[in-house]
Amino acid sequence: MGPYIIKLGGTIMLNTIAQLLDVIPASFWGVIVGSFFSIAGVAITNRAGDKRLRAQFEHERESKTKDREMALRKEVFLSAAEAVAAGMNSIGRFANFEIPNDQVTQPYVEKAPAISKVHVIARTETILPLAQFTSRLGALYLELFARRHELMSERNAIALVDNQVAQFGKERDRVLEMIKQHNIEGVVDQRRWNVLQDSFEFEQKRINDGLTHRGQLAAALQPKHLEFMRQCLLHTEQLGGMLIPVLTAVRRELELPLDEAAYRQAMVESYAQQQQAVDGFIRKFMPNAAQPIIPPDLAQEAAQGR
């Protein structure tokens, strides 16, 4: 009895719904269908908009990440560039004997840690030529320090002679004052006069001998010093050639164009002008100086640097 009643009730409900559907006008169904398609269109449009927004957000996120990475690279590379410039400038400081040994490479030593940061963020094609440069620079420092030590020893010998001559001069002036005092007193003491005269001549001879010796030492040191200047410039040119691949790789990482051939030519012309200036300086002080004989290994390094 129960299942029959439920089935009968379901049939009556379906008949009622069918009657209601027959009562609803066709225009209403048109509105319903149109609304459905409108809602479907809005949903599709919103979904497409969401995809575009997600794509735009992802693009902006990647762009910001790239900008941050690029900013970091620029900061690291610029700091490393300052260190490299300080390292190359130190080469010229070797020839300045007024700078103490512990201060010759001090500017580079203070900035050198910035170069190690490049090994963290740079690509392999940047790290390799930079490592070759820093390795050559360190070896070159040792070579130049050894040669500078030899020349500084000769310079110190000249300074020692200068100190001796200064002491001899003080003693000569003291004797001269005694001679003047003897003349003022008007006392005839031939023995004392002879002693003072001999002392004065002795000190004067020591001064003259010291000045002669100093002139010989200076004459021997000057061409060596000037040749050392030339070698420092040649080493700087060789290091500059080693830097070109580094600079090219760095600018490639920073997405900055570089005409490597034009830049290399500009560097060659710049170093040629510097060499002419140094040669002119040397000819001014040593008109009869012959052209320097460049050691074969140094000349080969300079050629490879170009």
10-56: pLDDT as tens digits = 566 556 655 555 555 655 556 565 665 566 666 666 666 667 666 66
Question: Mean pLDDT score of the chain, rounded to an integer?
Answer: 79
User: Looking at residue 237, what is its pLDDT?
Assistant: 86
**pTM (global) more than 0.75:** no
Expressed as residue numbers, the domain containing 108 is 30-86+97-121
- Which pLDDT band holds residue 274 (cuts at 50, 70, 90)? confident
Indicate whether 255 belongs to any domain: no
Q: Read off the amino acid at residue 122.
A: A
Domain assignment of residue 53, yes or no? yes
What number is the average pLDDT over the span 225-250? 89
Summarize the confidence of residues 45-72 as an average pLDDT.
69
Report yes or no on 192 lying in a domain.
no
Q: How far apart are CA 117 and CA 126, in angstroms?
A: 12
Tell me, yes or no, whether 277 lies in a domain. Answer: no
CB distance 232 to 186 below 8 Å: no
Q: Please check the confidence at residue 62 and state whether its pLDDT lies above 70.
A: no
Element (H, E) at 102: helix 101-104
Across the range 230-255, mean pLDDT stands at: 89
Query: pLDDT by residue (tens digit) across 174-209?
Result: 988 888 887 877 777 788 888 888 998 999 999 999
CB burial class (10 A; 0-12, 13-18, 19+) of residue 25?
exposed
Answer yes or no: is 79 within a domain.
yes
For residue 243, is it within any domain?
no
d(CA 292, CA 30): 103
- Which tokens in the block code for residue 166? 């200064």
Q: Is residue 169 part of a domain?
A: no
Burial of 257 (0-12, 13-18, 19+ CB in 10 A): exposed
> What is the total count of domains within the chain?
1
Is residue 248 included in any domain, yes or no?
no
Task: Judge whether 55 and 90 are in contact, CB under 8 Å.
Answer: no
Token output for 223: 């061409």
Contact indicator for 231, 299 with CB cutoff of 8 Å: no
